Structure 1
Amino acid sequence: MNLDLVILTQKEYIQPEEIDNYAKNVLYEDELLVKAFQKQNLKVKRIAWDDPHFDFKSTKYALFRATWDYFHRFEEFSSWLEKVSKETILLNSENIIRWNIDKHYLLDLQKKGIHIAETYYIEQGATETLEELHKKWNLQETVLKPCVSGAARHTYKLHKNNIKEHESIFADLIKKEAMMVQPFQYNIVEKGEISMMVFNGKFTHAILKTAKEGDFRVQDDFGGSIQNYTPTPEEITFAENSIQACPEPPIYARVDIFEDNNGKIALSELELIEPELWFRKHPEAADVLAKAIKNKLA
């Protein structure tokens, strides 16, 4: 059977043996999407992105959703991405995914006038220590993370009392991949981080993510909480402008913003590959995305 669309996930979420909170959310939100596409009379199926038996030439489009294992298997995923992009149309495209996977993309957006968090890049193979780099850049309390990452992988809060104990971790990481360091953003702890969903260039809904007491990571993996959020017109404009600054227009995106240490709206991250979109908080947004893709098909 030829398909209009497949929804890509990781194999653990196709028929999970144990349904924890993550699996429950993935299954529910994918179900919302499947029903939304079916309402648009589209033939749709959920598959694992690395399913060796699926012929991607049998579907017109492939939509990334919970492919959350890709950054742990990046070389394999990269080869797969190159192959499959020749067999079907990826949403979002291979080009914009490759651009978005590496957080050097923040510099491209900054050049186009998007205000980002103050960021310092440490390229693979660098030999300076964390202590030397912090002195060079006159940094005090910071957050260190890889340029290719997700779910707060190897994300560390650094300050003068713990920087030495992270030197060996950093020395091992920098041999294998580029890293980045940013001044610690106190308003994220105090006020949280806002996730703005933008489909086909237009804002749809927003979520406020807040860290649990005593932590700085807002991801629910680390005990963070989420709630519905009504953004200001300025925040909506910022999110939509961030999308317009991309190398090409993505069909869907999540724009994570926060108030920086100087009180300005700043971009934390732009998620164009497999962002959590919180359809469970706004089920009607699944219909918005389905209609956008149906129009693209047309």
Structure 2
Amino acid sequence: MDPTRATTVALVTSRAGLEYDDDLPLVTGALAAHGLTAEPVRWDAPGTAWERFGGAVVRSVWDYVERIDAFLSWADRTARVTRLWNPAPLIRWNSDKHYLRELARQGVPVVPTRFLAPGAPFDPRDLDGADGVVVKPAVSAGALDTARYERGAHAEAARHVRMLLERGRAAMVQPYLPRVAEGERALVLLDGVLSHAVRKEPLLTEPGVIDNDRMPHPGLAPYRPSGAEVRTALAALAALPRRTVARPPAPLFARVDLVLGATGEPLVLELELVEPNLFLTTDPGAPARFAEAVAARAAAPRRPHPRTAP
């Protein structure tokens, strides 16, 4: 075995990630302190020999939603030749927000969500709520093709839904929660343990507008989560299907985005396990904690892939 393989880790990114992911240089430096060489590599870079890496950390693959089938195939192929963190089954499960249904079935408090599949009929009058609704694709990142609609604007919301369905994309409809004005909370967990958290200002500030150029994380600031928020985030991780995780049971990284319900209860808006911004720049100790988690996995004996195990 090439001795450099065990000490070389791929930080899997995209064309945009190479340019805009502020976490990449922080992680590279922090991993060097553990004797690991980190190499940012686009997931779709032609001719990449993924087998030369001791592990591949899926990070800023921000364009995966545009080529979801190709990306999931890449994850499956890459997992056969090196260790993938987070693992391919977890990536597949989390790449479609239908996972919210599974979390809800496990008793995790999530934002109520209705899914609409291409070809399925719906009544536009159902696309309304006391404070309006939010419409988004079931496979999306960075609030792409997402908008909120005020109460009574069900016809406008229906047009948005039809636009998604006509493109062959499943749509999801959620009630707009007014207390999002108090900020969206994002809790970052490494190996299942809370590392740090941030608070973000509301994103969908203008009703009825799909703005794919909006800043995805406005007003970002460090945040100390409440006990209830931490418990909700941990409950979301505990509800992960067994088929999606291997030992150790917790994913390498997770970001749990929370909003407050009517009575102040934290609700899971999203559980991000594929390519979330981990906001490592907001906490001085976060890069070192992330690197420590990666280094521990890189040092662990590699188990054979199920397809090649004797």
Alpha carbons of 1:141 and 1:239: their partners in 2 closer, same or farther (altered >3 Å)? same
Q: Is 2:265 the counterpart of 1:261?
A: no
Q: What is the CA–CA distance in structure 2 between the aligned matches of 1:12 and 1:292, rounded to whole Å?
A: 25
Q: What is the CA–CA distance in structure 1 between the aligned matches of 2:282 and 2:149, rounded to whole Å?
A: 34
Q: What is the CA–CA distance in structure 2 between the aligned matches of 1:258 and 1:159, rounded to whole Å?
A: 18
Equivalent residue for 1:192?
183
Amino acid at match of 2:158: E
Deviation at 1:223, TM superposition (A): 7.3
* Counterpart pick for 2:13 among 9, 12, 16: 9
Alpha carbons of 1:285 and 1:262: their partners in 2 closer, same or farther (altered >3 Å)? same
Q: What is the CA–CA distance in structure 2 between the aligned matches of 1:253 and 1:260, rounded to whole Å?
A: 22
How many residues are matched?
Answer: 283
Q: What is the CA–CA distance in structure 2 between the aligned matches of 1:169 and 1:241, rounded to whole Å?
A: 32
Report Cα offsets for 1:66-92 as digits up to 9, x if no partner: 111111122322222222222221110
Amino acid at match of 2:40: R
Q: What is the CA–CA distance in structure 1 between the aligned matches of 2:259 and 2:197, rounded to whole Å?
A: 12
Deviation at 1:204, TM superposition (A): 0.8
Report Cα offsets for 1:107-150 as digits up to 9, x if no partner: 1111222100111121222122433x337xx7661111111111
Alpha carbons of 1:243 and 1:212: their partners in 2 closer, same or farther (altered >3 Å)? closer
The runs of 5 or more residues in structure 1 that have no matched partner are: 17-22
Amino acid at match of 1:177: R
Amino acid at match of 1:115: P
Q: Is the contact between residue 5 and residue 43 of structure 1 (CA under 8 Å) also seen in structure 2?
A: yes
Equivalent residue for 1:20?
none
Q: What is the CA–CA distance in structure 1 between the aligned matches of 2:217 and 2:232, rounded to whole Å?
A: 28
**Structure 1 segment 87-236 matched on structure 2, within 5 A:** 87-131=81-125, 133-134=126-127, 141-175=132-166, 176-189=168-181, 191-211=182-202, 214-215=205-206, 221=215, 224-236=218-230
Alpha carbons of 1:167 and 1:85: their partners in 2 closer, same or farther (altered >3 Å)? same
TM-score by length of 1: 0.87
SS at match of 1:35: helix
SS at match of 2:215: helix
Equivalent residue for 2:57?
63
SS at match of 2:220: strand
Q: What is the CA–CA distance in structure 1 between the aligned matches of 2:261 and 2:115, rounded to whole Å?
A: 19
Q: Is the contact between residue 130 and residue 170 of structure 1 (CA under 8 Å) also seen in structure 2?
A: no
Q: Is the contact between residue 201 and residue 219 of structure 2 (CA under 8 Å) also seen in structure 1?
A: yes
Q: Is the contact between residue 127 and residue 157 of structure 2 (CA under 8 Å) also seen in structure 1?
A: no
Equivalent residue for 1:19?
none
Deviation at 1:158, TM superposition (A): 2.1
Alpha carbons of 1:222 and 1:255: their partners in 2 closer, same or farther (altered >3 Å)? closer
Q: Is the contact between residue 135 and residue 148 of structure 2 (CA under 8 Å) also seen in structure 1?
A: yes
Q: What is the CA–CA distance in structure 2 between the aligned matches of 1:255 and 1:156, rounded to whole Å?
A: 21
Report Cα offsets for 1:152-202 as digits up to 9, x if no partner: 11212123553323434422311312111111110002x111000000010
Out of 270-279 and 148-157, give the one that drifted further.
148-157
Q: Is 2:78 the counterpart of 1:84?
A: yes
Calculate the aligned-residue CA RMSD, in Å: 2.3
Out of 224-233 and 169-178, give the one that drifted further.
169-178
Alpha carbons of 1:120 and 1:168: their partners in 2 closer, same or farther (altered >3 Å)? closer
Alpha carbons of 1:35 and 1:5: their partners in 2 closer, same or farther (altered >3 Å)? same
SS at match of 1:63: strand
Q: What is the CA–CA distance in structure 2 between the aligned matches of 1:281 and 1:164, rounded to whole Å?
A: 41
Percent identity over paired residues:
27
Report Cα offsets for 1:223-274 as digits up to 9, x if no partner: 7211111112222222122212212321110011121123211111000011
Out of 88-97 and 154-163, give the one that drifted further.
154-163
Q: Is the contact between residue 129 and residue 171 of structure 1 (CA under 8 Å) also seen in structure 2?
A: no
The runs of 5 or more residues in structure 2 that have no matched partner are: 301-310
Q: What is the CA–CA distance in structure 1 between the aligned matches of 2:252 and 2:104, rounded to whole Å?
A: 21
Q: Is the contact between residue 11 and residue 47 of structure 1 (CA under 8 Å) also seen in structure 2?
A: no
Q: What is the CA–CA distance in structure 1 between the aligned matches of 2:202 and 2:159, rounded to whole Å?
A: 27
Q: Is the contact between residue 97 and residue 273 of structure 1 (CA under 8 Å) also seen in structure 2?
A: yes
Amino acid at match of 2:260: E
Q: What is the CA–CA distance in structure 1 between the aligned matches of 2:15 and 2:67, rounded to whole Å?
A: 13
Q: Is the contact between residue 99 and residue 105 of structure 1 (CA under 8 Å) also seen in structure 2?
A: yes
